[in-house]
Amino acid sequence: MNIEKRVTELVEEKIADMPHLFLVDVKMHPNGKLIVLVDGDNGIGIADCAAISRHVGFHLEEENVIEEAYNLEVSSPGIDTPLVLKRQYAKNIGRTLAIKMDDGTKKEGELLTAGDDFIIIAETIKEKGKKAETVESTIPTDKITETKVLISFK
Protein backbone atom coordinates (compact mmCIF):
# COMPACT_ATOMS: atom_id res chain seq x y z
CA MET A 1 0.00 0.00 0.00
CA ASN A 2 1.19 3.49 -0.82
CA ILE A 3 2.02 5.12 2.55
CA GLU A 4 1.40 8.69 1.39
CA LYS A 5 -1.99 7.74 -0.07
CA ARG A 6 -3.08 6.00 3.14
CA VAL A 7 -1.90 8.90 5.33
CA THR A 8 -3.80 11.32 3.07
CA GLU A 9 -6.96 9.24 3.56
CA LEU A 10 -6.45 9.20 7.35
CA VAL A 11 -5.90 12.96 7.57
CA GLU A 12 -8.92 13.70 5.36
CA GLU A 13 -10.98 11.37 7.56
CA LYS A 14 -9.86 13.18 10.72
CA ILE A 15 -10.44 16.72 9.43
CA ALA A 16 -13.74 15.91 7.67
CA ASP A 17 -15.67 17.51 10.54
CA MET A 18 -13.31 20.52 10.68
CA PRO A 19 -14.08 22.45 7.46
CA HIS A 20 -11.66 25.26 8.39
CA LEU A 21 -8.70 22.84 8.08
CA PHE A 22 -7.19 21.44 4.89
CA LEU A 23 -4.38 19.06 3.95
CA VAL A 24 -1.48 20.68 2.12
CA ASP A 25 1.01 17.82 1.66
CA VAL A 26 2.08 14.36 2.80
CA LYS A 27 5.66 13.27 2.17
CA MET A 28 7.46 10.08 3.24
CA HIS A 29 11.22 10.65 3.18
CA PRO A 30 13.72 7.79 2.69
CA ASN A 31 15.17 8.44 6.18
CA GLY A 32 11.86 7.35 7.76
CA LYS A 33 10.50 10.85 8.36
CA LEU A 34 6.80 11.14 7.53
CA ILE A 35 5.80 14.79 7.21
CA VAL A 36 2.16 15.88 7.13
CA LEU A 37 1.41 19.56 6.45
CA VAL A 38 -2.05 20.79 7.44
CA ASP A 39 -3.26 24.38 7.34
CA GLY A 40 -6.39 26.27 8.22
CA ASP A 41 -8.25 29.28 6.94
CA ASN A 42 -7.19 31.02 10.16
CA GLY A 43 -4.10 28.92 10.82
CA ILE A 44 -3.93 25.67 12.78
CA GLY A 45 -3.28 25.15 16.46
CA ILE A 46 -1.10 22.67 18.28
CA ALA A 47 -4.16 20.82 19.63
CA ASP A 48 -5.42 20.16 16.09
CA CYS A 49 -1.97 18.99 14.95
CA ALA A 50 -1.74 16.67 17.97
CA ALA A 51 -5.20 15.22 17.32
CA ILE A 52 -4.35 14.55 13.67
CA SER A 53 -1.01 13.02 14.68
CA ARG A 54 -2.67 10.69 17.21
CA HIS A 55 -5.30 9.61 14.68
CA VAL A 56 -2.81 8.96 11.89
CA GLY A 57 -0.25 7.31 14.19
CA PHE A 58 -2.85 5.00 15.78
CA HIS A 59 -4.15 3.77 12.43
CA LEU A 60 -0.68 3.37 10.88
CA GLU A 61 0.34 1.19 13.84
CA GLU A 62 -2.96 -0.70 13.91
CA GLU A 63 -2.78 -1.49 10.20
CA ASN A 64 1.01 -1.99 10.25
CA VAL A 65 1.31 0.17 7.12
CA ILE A 66 4.96 1.06 7.70
CA GLU A 67 7.30 -1.87 8.38
CA GLU A 68 10.41 0.06 9.46
CA ALA A 69 10.81 2.70 12.18
CA TYR A 70 9.45 6.11 11.23
CA ASN A 71 9.00 9.57 12.69
CA LEU A 72 5.58 11.19 12.18
CA GLU A 73 5.58 14.99 12.08
CA VAL A 74 2.29 16.90 11.73
CA SER A 75 2.57 20.67 11.44
CA SER A 76 1.48 23.74 9.55
CA PRO A 77 3.55 24.72 6.50
CA GLY A 78 6.49 26.86 7.59
CA ILE A 79 6.96 30.44 6.56
CA ASP A 80 9.45 29.35 3.89
CA THR A 81 7.12 26.70 2.43
CA PRO A 82 5.76 27.69 -1.00
CA LEU A 83 2.01 28.08 -1.47
CA VAL A 84 0.55 25.15 -3.40
CA LEU A 85 -3.22 25.29 -2.96
CA LYS A 86 -5.75 27.90 -4.11
CA ARG A 87 -7.06 27.93 -0.55
CA GLN A 88 -3.61 29.04 0.67
CA TYR A 89 -3.67 31.97 -1.74
CA ALA A 90 -7.11 33.01 -0.48
CA LYS A 91 -5.96 33.07 3.14
CA ASN A 92 -2.97 35.25 2.23
CA ILE A 93 -4.84 38.09 0.51
CA GLY A 94 -3.29 41.37 1.63
CA ARG A 95 0.18 39.90 2.12
CA THR A 96 3.22 40.43 -0.09
CA LEU A 97 4.20 37.52 -2.32
CA ALA A 98 7.38 36.61 -4.18
CA ILE A 99 6.43 34.74 -7.35
CA LYS A 100 8.63 32.77 -9.74
CA MET A 101 7.19 32.39 -13.23
CA ASP A 102 7.65 29.49 -15.65
CA ASP A 103 9.63 31.76 -18.02
CA GLY A 104 12.21 32.47 -15.28
CA THR A 105 10.97 35.96 -14.39
CA LYS A 106 10.12 36.99 -10.85
CA LYS A 107 7.33 39.20 -9.58
CA GLU A 108 6.66 40.68 -6.18
CA GLY A 109 3.56 42.39 -4.91
CA GLU A 110 0.60 42.47 -2.57
CA LEU A 111 -1.97 39.75 -3.25
CA LEU A 112 -5.28 41.45 -4.06
CA THR A 113 -7.39 38.60 -5.45
CA ALA A 114 -7.14 34.82 -5.68
CA GLY A 115 -9.38 33.33 -8.37
CA ASP A 116 -9.76 29.74 -9.52
CA ASP A 117 -7.03 29.96 -12.16
CA PHE A 118 -5.40 33.36 -11.60
CA ILE A 119 -4.19 35.78 -8.95
CA ILE A 120 -4.01 39.57 -9.03
CA ILE A 121 -1.16 41.38 -7.31
CA ALA A 122 -0.38 45.07 -6.80
CA GLU A 123 3.14 45.28 -8.17
CA THR A 124 5.40 48.32 -7.77
CA ILE A 125 7.22 49.03 -11.04
CA LYS A 126 10.26 51.31 -10.95
CA GLU A 127 11.70 52.46 -14.25
CA LYS A 128 14.96 54.36 -14.34
CA GLY A 129 14.40 58.10 -14.22
CA LYS A 130 10.70 57.76 -13.45
CA LYS A 131 8.67 57.68 -10.28
CA ALA A 132 7.69 54.22 -9.05
CA GLU A 133 4.11 53.29 -9.85
CA THR A 134 1.87 50.54 -8.60
CA VAL A 135 0.10 48.44 -11.21
CA GLU A 136 -2.26 45.51 -10.92
CA SER A 137 -0.94 42.37 -12.58
CA THR A 138 -3.13 39.37 -13.34
CA ILE A 139 -1.11 36.17 -13.27
CA PRO A 140 -2.48 32.81 -14.46
CA THR A 141 -1.70 30.20 -11.81
CA ASP A 142 -0.53 27.71 -14.45
CA LYS A 143 2.36 30.12 -15.24
CA ILE A 144 3.57 30.14 -11.60
CA THR A 145 6.32 27.74 -10.58
CA GLU A 146 6.67 28.92 -6.96
CA THR A 147 5.02 31.41 -4.64
CA LYS A 148 6.24 32.38 -1.19
CA VAL A 149 4.84 34.83 1.32
CA LEU A 150 7.31 37.59 2.18
CA ILE A 151 7.46 38.59 5.82
CA SER A 152 7.96 42.24 6.69
CA PHE A 153 9.42 43.28 10.04
CA LYS A 154 8.58 46.97 9.58
The pLDDT, as a whole number, for residue 1 is: 57
> What does the pLDDT average to over 100-129?
92
How high is the mean pLDDT of the chain? 92
- Share above pLDDT 90 across residues of the chain, in percent, rounded to a whole number: 79
> What does the pLDDT average to over 114-136?
89
Least confident window among 17-21, 37-41, 47-51, 123-127 = 123-127
Checking if the pLDDT of 154 tops 80, the result is: no
Query: Tens of pLDDT along 55-103?
Result: 999 999 999 888 888 999 999 998 889 999 999 999 999 999 999 999 9
Q: In 3-state terms, what secondary structure has residue 107?
A: strand
129 sits in the region (left: phi over 0; alpha: psi -120 to 50; else beta) called left
The pLDDT, as a whole number, for residue 65 is: 84
Checking if the pLDDT of 122 tops 90, the result is: yes
